[in-house]
Amino acid sequence: MNSARTTTVATVVRVSTEQIAGPVGQDARFNEYVVPELEVLYRVAYSITRNKADAEDLVQDTLLRAYRAIDRFDGRYPRAWLLTIMRNAQVNRVRRKRPELMHDPDETMSRVADESADAADAEAQLMDQTLAAPIELALASLPTKFRSVVELVDINELSYKEAAEVLGIPVGTVMSRLHRARRNIRQHLESSPVEE
Amino acid sequence: MAKKVNCTEVARRLQTYLDGELEGDWKERVQAHLDDCVMCGLEQDAFSAIKADLSALPSSPPAESEALQRLRDFSARISQEASS
Ligand SMILES: [Zn+2]
């Protein structure tokens, strides 16, 4: 499993860091594959947790896990790899916080997300956006599980597959939620008065 | 020559098409239909506009740069601590 670590240092320094991550390659690979994705990770974490402090925490957790696992990463699709790690980290965090809710991870995540964005929070957010565009209000009025998919795909530009990875749901569910959410936004926009 | 599709089939796949996630020859079939059909073309415009508006929204909460800086520092610390 972890053969790279048990290789002697002498061997490691002779081998290209591209091929084997030893104590030397680990940092290089971390900087190459993980650090460039920090911003995406933070945005996605925020979409999942709906809370700045939790988002930062979740990214830190993800970074630590990624660092530990980087020698086993094959270098392809770093973003998808990191999103899977983030998803696992989130499931773990939720489990630690509320063990009684662990029947369905998807359900649990959306419930916790719903709770963390409580009414007061949502209202404060709306008050912050006194000049918010109609589209923002339409988005804010969506239930969390629909809003998260829109945020991940339309705002953070994840693929369907990446969004599915992060939310731990099938790609088909991403599609149906996303498409329903956009239809809903469209209705919202068409029914709200146009302000000049 | 790809088989022609009707409006219902296009409506079902329109958003996936706009997301660039439509696979196989469906992509060309939907595209061909959209070039010809006024009603579906209008639907396309509506969803394109929504998608464009959404993607123009700020992608993260305020004070993002501070949080990002802290995370960058955190990343640097992980490497340092692991190698010391
Ligand atoms: Zn048509």
CATH of the domain at A177: 1.10.10.10
Judged by phi (left if over 0) then psi (alpha if -120 to 50, else beta), residue A77 lies in left
pLDDT tens profile A74-103 = 988 888 889 889 988 988 888 887 655 444
Does the interface predicted TM-score (ipTM) exceed 0.85?
Answer: no
- Contact call for residues B55 and A185 (beta carbons, < 8 A): no
A87 and A4 both lie in a single domain: yes
Count other C-beta atoms under 10 Å from residue A130's C-beta. 6
Report pLDDT for A151.
Answer: 92
What spacing in Å lies between the alpha carbon of B38 and ligand 1's midpoint? Answer: 7
A57 and A40 both lie in a single domain: yes
- Contact call for residues A94 and A108 (beta carbons, < 8 A): yes
A112 and A196 both lie in a single domain: no
A57 and A93 both lie in a single domain: yes
Domain endpoint, select from A104, A128, A152: A128
Q: What is the mean pLDDT of residues B28-56?
A: 94
pLDDT tens profile A51-66 = 889 999 999 999 999 9
Domain endpoint, select from A128, A157, A173: A128
Q: Write out chain A residues lying below 8 Å of B71, CB-based.
A: 38, 41-42, 56, 59-60, 63
pTM reported for the whole predicted model: 0.65
Q: ∠ at Cα A24 (A58, A73), nearest 5°? A: 50
Taking each helix axis as running N to C, give the angle between helix A171-191 and helix B7-18, from 0 to 180 degrees, rounded to the nearest 10: 100
What spacing in Å lies between the alpha carbon of A138 and ligand 1's midpoint? Answer: 27
**Tokens 């359900």 appear where?**
A107
Total domains present in chain A = 2
Domain containing A19: what range?
1-128
At residue A3, does pLDDT exceed 70?
no
Q: Write out chain A residues lying below 8 Å of B82, CB-based.
A: 23, 26-27, 67
The token duo for A21 is: 């991550």
A114 and A151 both lie in a single domain: no
Asked if B21's CB is within 8 angstroms of A160's CB, the reply is yes
A114 and A67 both lie in a single domain: yes
